[in-house]
Amino acid sequence: MAFRFSFASLLRLRTLMERHRLSELEHSLARLHAMQHSVEEAEEWKQRSAEARNGSGTIPARELQFVSNVMAKTDEAIHLFQARIVEEEKRASEMRRNYLDARSQRKVVSTLRDNAARAYQVEMSRREQAAIDEMHLTRLRKSEHDDSAPAE
């Protein structure tokens, strides 16, 4: 008789849920990192462009207007990305809570399984010892019976 955990399907479900939540969290953190990297690149580009504009001497008004418009659009994009980063950080925080909750639920069922497996092992050891004791007593009785039997 092999060990059979009665909540095995529940444990599989909890494990799958934990993996799914972890995957969601990893994707959210990757998106967050990509957004932060984009903002950093845009700010670096903006700084290099401002330095180039200030250090290049005389610039025609038309080009100066174009650069100013591009810089303004870059600022808008940076602010938009920063707002998205805040939203993604909130989403990542929620996903982290969901993952930790799923992990704790899986650990509860896993602990139940471990406890049931230990109880099963104890019961099997007890039964095995009882069978060994019974065999020993049977041999002892047989040897006593053989010793007390009259010799013919």
Report pLDDT digits (tens) over 89-102. Answer: 999 999 999 999 99
Domain residue limits at 84: 22-141
Report percent pLDDT > 90 for the chain.
Answer: 62
> Residues of 38-75 as b/e, b for ≥16 C-beta within 10 angstroms?
ebeeeeeebeeeeeeeeeeeeeeeeeeeebeeeeeeee
Give the closest residue to 32 by CA, choosing from 78, 77, 87, 88.
Answer: 88
Task: Determine the pLDDT at residue 52.
Answer: 74
**Any domain includes 33:** yes
**Any domain includes 15:** no
| Total domain count, the chain | 1
What is the arithmetic mean of pLDDT over 22-43?
Answer: 95
**Any domain includes 112:** yes
Q: Residue 109: pLDDT above 80? A: yes
**Any domain includes 14:** no
**Any domain includes 26:** yes
**Any domain includes 148:** no
Instruction: Using the structure block, give the residue that is written with the tokens 């104890």.
Output: 122
